[in-house]
Amino acid sequence: MTATQLDTRVRVRDFMQALQDSICTRLGEIDGEQTFKEDAWEREEGGGGRSRVLAEGRVFERAGVNFSEIFGTNLPPSILQQRPDAAGHQYYVTGTSLVLHPRNPYVPTVHFNYRYFEAGPVWWFGGGCDLTPYYGFREDAAHFHRTFKTACDRHDPGYYPKFKQWCDEYFYVKHRQEPRGVGGIFFDYLSSDWERIFAFVQSCAGAFLSAYLPIVQARQSMDYTERERKFQLYRRGRYVEFNLVHDRGTLFGLQTQGRIESILMSLPPLVRWEYNYHPEPGTPEAELYEVFLVPRNWASEGEKDGDELIKERP
């Protein structure tokens, strides 16, 4: 390993650990009832991580924030298919990921993952963040997308439209023929200029709390009934299906003999499936399918109304 490689690994690792720390601190403050419990683990082939979970909180039914740093020699097939030039080298991967499953059905689930990969002379960054509402609010989706567009535009005005489309295509439940949510940004295998891309990743990761917490604060105290709760649990089933069937991170973790508890931490604590369900026309549940599970230019929604985007449903 060269001195340059050691420096890049340390810089990214330190950033990812600090990111986990800052997000856990802020989410714990927002929940106000439960705190994160840390589970440090080691991987037999090399490396380890810190899994932090907040469970049965006031706001978050389950919130998981992972940091990992692993290395080894046996690259999984999912990586070699995309980057055959990484074959024959020891690999190194570090990153931070989270999935938050709120208690209130009006607060959306959110996911992010930012990661760095090295294998000999080959390196790249990947990641992104996406929002999965159960009951849609146009102003929430617009705020979320506009926050990440601003973060992207600081580095390249072409990033947001490209990575927004990539997110729409990636977080698509193919066997259901529907998007998982309202999207966000997603990118992978970025490797043109190390310093430039690392700065971009830092900006996007740093935008997360500003993109998500105003939505949580606006929706967490809204009244809901058993009907909204049942629909939330039903839609969580789509989340489970995507993560177990399509998600690259889940596949990579399983193929590299990762820690199962950490890999499956993203799954919600409660979920339900209903046979051949169809929402009644004209209901908020139908609106989710008709308006919010359709890719659209959310960043332009509500621009004429200024920045006060987070409102309550009448």
Contact at 8 Å (CB) between 51 and 265?
yes
What is the phi/psi pair of residue 236, to 5°? -60, -25
CA 52 to CA 62: how far, in whole Å?
11
Q: Which amino acid type is present at position 60?
A: F
Q: In the chain, helix, strand, coil percent, each to 5?
A: 45, 25, 30
- The tokens describing 88, both together, are 């024959």
Contact at 8 Å (CB) between 140 and 311?
no
Query: Is 155 known to be catalytic?
Result: no
- The tokens describing 183, both together, are 């999207």
Say if strands 91-102 and 183-190 run parallel, antiparallel, or are unpaired: unpaired
CA 164 to CA 144: how far, in whole Å?
12
Rg, the chain, Cα only: 19
List the catalytic residue out of 89, 101, 111, 175: 111
What is the spatial order of strands in the sheet that 122-132 belongs to?
Answer: 37-42, 47-55, 60-72, 91-102, 109-119, 122-132, 183-190
Element holding 54 (H helix, E strand): strand 47-55
Enzyme catalytic residues? 111
